C-alpha cells in the first residue's frame, strides 16, 4: 500500500502481512472490501466481463448551503451569471455522462436515463439536489448519480460565489440503488 499512498497512516504497521488486509483468489483479485485493489495492494479496474446484464438504478443527493443573500438572489433569478438552477441541472446531467473520465477506475457506462432535480429550501437557505442514473449493464451507476449531484452542487457554487464565498456543499451520499449482484440497498432501511 505504501507504493500507492506513501507512508502508512498512524496506527497502521507496514510490517503487518498484506494477507490480513486482502484475501487473494489466486487470480490477482481482492475480495475483502476493496474491489479496486489487487492482492498486492495495486490499484486496478475491476473486470466485469463475466457479470450478467441487469437493470441498475441509483439515486444520490446533496445539499448546497447558500446563506440568506445568495439564496434570495437564486430564488429571484437575479444571479449575474444566469439561471442557477437550470444551469446546474444541465451541468449535473453532463457530469453523470462524464463520470468515467473524472473517476479513473470507473467503467464507461452506457446510461439509459439521468435525472437531476434541484429545489430551494427556505428553512436553511439551501438548494437540495437529487440525481438519478440508470443503465442496463454489468456494473452499477452509483458513481454516476453521485457525480451528477456533486457537479450540480459545484455549479451552484460557481454561479453564486460572487454573492458569497461562504457557500458549503454538504451531505453528498447515495440514497438507494437497485440491481446487480449485491441487490437493492437503501439509506433509509
Dist CA 147 CA 149 (whole Å) = 6
Catalytic residue among 38, 158, 166, 184: 158
Residue-range definition of the domain harbouring residue 152: 58-181
Within a domain: residue 3?
Answer: no
Cell triple for 8: 502508512
Dist CA 109 CA 122 (whole Å) = 36
Within a domain: residue 151?
Answer: yes
Within a domain: residue 24?
Answer: no
Within a domain: residue 19?
Answer: no
- What is the pLDDT, as a whole number, of residue 17? 37
Dist CA 187 CA 146 (whole Å) = 14
- What is the pLDDT, as a whole number, of residue 15? 42
- What is the pLDDT, as a whole number, of residue 58? 98
pTM value is 0.80
- What is the pLDDT, as a whole number, of residue 7? 60
Within a domain: residue 15?
Answer: no
Within a domain: residue 77?
Answer: yes
Within a domain: residue 64?
Answer: yes
- Out of 2-6, 20-24, 118-122, 140-144, pick the least confident: 20-24
- What is the pLDDT, as a whole number, of residue 28? 44
Q: What is the CATH number of the domain that holds 147?
A: 3.30.70.640
Three-state DSSP class for residue 184? coil
- What is the pLDDT, as a whole number, of residue 26? 41
pLDDT higher than threshold 50 for residue 114: yes
pLDDT tens for 168-189 read: 999 999 999 999 888 899 998 6
Within a domain: residue 7?
Answer: no
- What is the pLDDT, as a whole number, of residue 47? 82
Is 38 one of the annotated active-site residues of the chain? Answer: no
Structural domain tally of the chain? Answer: 1
- What is the pLDDT, as a whole number, of residue 25? 40
CA-angle at 71, arms to 68 and 72, nearest 5°: 85
pLDDT tens for 136-175 read: 999 999 999 999 999 999 999 999 999 999 999 999 999 9
Amino acid at each position: 500500500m505504501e507504493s500507492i499512498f506513501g507512508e502508512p497512516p498512524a496506527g497502521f504497521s507496514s510490517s503487518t502481512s498484506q494477507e490480513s488486509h486482502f484475501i487473494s483468489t489466486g487470480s490477482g483479485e481482492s475480495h475483502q472490501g476493496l474491489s479496486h485493489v489487487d492482492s498486492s495492494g495495486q490499484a486496478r479496474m475491476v473486470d466485469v466481463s463475466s457479470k450478467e446484464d441487469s437493470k441498475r438504478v441509483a439515486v444520490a443527493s446533496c445539499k448546497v448551503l447558500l446563506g440568506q443573500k445568495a439564496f434570495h438572489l437564486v430564488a429571484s433569478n437575479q444571479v449575474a451569471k444566469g439561471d442557477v438552477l437550470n444551469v446546474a441541472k444541465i451541468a449535473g446531467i453532463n457530469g453523470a455522462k462524464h463520470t468515467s473520465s473524472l473517476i479513473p477506475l470507473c467503467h464507461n457506462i452506457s446510461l439509459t436515463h439521468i435525472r437531476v432535480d434541484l429545489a430551494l429550501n427556505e428553512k436553511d437557505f439551501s438548494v437540495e439536489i437529487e440525481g438519478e442514473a440508470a443503465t442496463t449493464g454489468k456494473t452499477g451507476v452509483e458513481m454516476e448519480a453521485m457525480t451528477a449531484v456533486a457537479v450540480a452542487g459545484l455549479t451552484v457554487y460557481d454561479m453564486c460565489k460572487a454573492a458569497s464565498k461562504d457557500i458549503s456543499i454538504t451531505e453528498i451520499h447515495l440514497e438507494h440503488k437497485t440491481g446487480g449482484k449485491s441487490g437493492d440497498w437503501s439509506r433509509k432501511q
